[in-house]
DNA sequence: TGCGTCTTTGACAATGATTTCCGCTATCCG
DNA sequence: CGGATAGCGGAAATCATTGTCAAAGACGCA
């Protein structure tokens, strides 16, 4: 039997697959689904399992390194975003996204939540519309 | 072969099932998943297919009569809300919801979208937190 | 540097909400 | 009232995501 070796610092290991996902996200623009990213990795010649892609993305999302969006349509979309909290303005037609910031909104959300006694507050905000190009086309 | 009878005004039909879903939503409080609502209808003795519940909810959501929320966790939640545009403050722990309004946020979203040339703008905003009761417990 | 252990991987199956299919029924209009 | 069709509904299909578990690689230590 193996005694629980408390000394083992269970840190995150630096693996080839994790690096691959991370660097891929650093290069691509816009949002991509997990399956998209998996396909891209395969095209690049990286052998990475789909399961691993999901796990890695979840980990990155948890640690705040990437953003997750749940558009109406079912798939989760992941994106490496500029640091700092912000939201997205998304075109319904062509899918292009613009990062927008609204400090006033952040503070409003926190204030409203606090008024109702809520703590540990987070929020999601997405703006959908039709961009100029798609509207004129 | 059936000739296309153009005279048939293909309007929405008023069916027992649609009425049942609608009136159920008028009575219950808070958000419920489609499957929840389906179970409630069966408890009431209404014989309504799960498929129909989904279809009806989608229709009601499209016509703006009910709100849809996509919480992290997978299920779509539906709710008959008070009239007017508003958002929700949701407790992560007990699921209780508070309707909140933020005119400033609405106008901010529209303004930002307009600045980027977006038209036909809508947005989703949800605030998550831990409510007072759950925090002290 | 070599070894042992433990994390991580990855192929496959399982899950579970939502959608599709298609024959049947009920509703609506004339 | 009667014919035509919108809507219903049960089951099967779909599909992204998660669980499982044996095998392989990474890291700390001697």
Distance in angstroms (rounded) separating the CA atoms of residues A112 and A118: 9
Q: Which of A69-73, A88-92, B67-71 has the highest mean pLDDT?
A: A88-92
When CB atoms are compared, the residue of A120, A122, A127 closest to B123 is A127
> What are the chain B neighbours of A89 within 8 Å (beta carbons)?
112-113, 116, 118
Taking residue A21's Cβ as centre, other Cβ atoms within 10 Å add up to 27
User: pLDDT band at A11, cuts 50/70/90?
Assistant: low
Tell me the average pLDDT across B10-29. Answer: 83
pLDDT > 60? residue A110 = yes
Helix (H) or strand (E) holding A69: strand A67-69
Distance in angstroms (rounded) separating the CA atoms of residues B89 and B131: 9
Q: Does A73 touch chain B (CB under 8 A)?
A: no
Q: In this structure, what token pair is assigned to residue A87? A: 């939201």
Please classify residue B135 by burial: count the beta carbons closer than 10 Å to its beta carbon, then call 0-12 exposed, 13-18 middle and 19+ buried. Answer: middle
Q: Which residue has the higher pLDDT, B71 or A90?
A: A90
Distance D6 C1' – B4 CA (angstroms): 15
β-partners of residue A122 are B128
> What are the chain B neighbours of A109 within 8 Å (beta carbons)?
125, 127
> What are the chain B neighbours of A123 within 8 Å (beta carbons)?
125-128
Least trusted range by pLDDT, from A112-121, B19-28, B80-89, B121-130 = B80-89
Tell me the average pLDDT across B34-41. Answer: 92
Least trusted range by pLDDT, from A34-43, A45-54, A78-87, B15-24 = A78-87
Chain C: nucleotides under 7 Å from a protein CB?
A: 5-12, 17-21, 26-30
Mean pLDDT of all residues belonging to chain A: 83
What is the pLDDT, as a whole number, of residue B29?
A: 80
Mean pLDDT of all residues belonging to chain B: 83
User: pLDDT band at A52, cuts 50/70/90?
Assistant: very high
Cβ pair A48, A27 in contact under 8 A: no
Taking residue A112's Cβ as centre, other Cβ atoms within 10 Å add up to 21
Q: Which residue has the higher pLDDT, B12 or A40?
A: A40
What is the pLDDT, as a whole number, of residue B112?
A: 95
Q: Does A134 touch chain B (CB under 8 A)?
A: no
Measure A84 CA to nearest chain B CA, in Å: 18
E strand map for chain B: 32-33, 67-69, 77-79, 87-91, 97-100, 119-130
Distance in angstroms (rounded) separating the CA atoms of residues A42 and A89: 30
Can you give the length of chain A in residues? 137
Contact check, Cβ <8 Å, A126/B124: yes
pTM check: above 0.95: no
When CB atoms are compared, the residue of A118, A128, A135 closest to B129 is A118
pLDDT > 50? residue B7 = no
pLDDT > 60? residue B20 = yes
User: pLDDT band at A10, cuts 50/70/90?
Assistant: very low
What is the pLDDT, as a whole number, of residue A8?
A: 39
When CB atoms are compared, the residue of B91, B113, B126 closest to A127 is B113
> What are the chain B neighbours of A129 within 8 Å (beta carbons)?
113, 118-122
Q: Does B136 touch chain A (CB under 8 A)?
A: no
Contact check, Cβ <8 Å, B129/A135: no
DSSP letters spanning B99-115? EE--HHHHHHHHHHHHH
pLDDT per residue over B39-85, tens digit each? 999 888 888 999 999 999 998 888 888 888 887 767 888 888 776 78
């Amino acid at each position: 039997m193996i005694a629980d070796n408390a000394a083992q610092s269970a840190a995150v290991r630096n693996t080839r697959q994790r690096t691959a996902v991370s660097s891929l996200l650093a290069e691509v623009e816009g949002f991509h689904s997990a399956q998209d990213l998996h396909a891209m990795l395969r095209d690049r010649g990286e052998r990475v399992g789909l399961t691993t892609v999901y796990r890695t993305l979840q980990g990155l999302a948890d640690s705040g390194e990437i953003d997750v969006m749940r558009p109406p349509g079912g798939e989760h979309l992941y994106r490496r975003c500029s640091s700092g909290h912000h939201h997205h303005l998304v075109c319904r037609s062509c899918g292009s996204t613009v990062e927008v910031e609204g400090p006033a909104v952040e503070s409003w959300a926190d204030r409203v939540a606090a008024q109702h006694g809520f703590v540990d507050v987070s929020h999601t905000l997405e703006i959908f519309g039709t961009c100029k190009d798609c509207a004129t086309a």
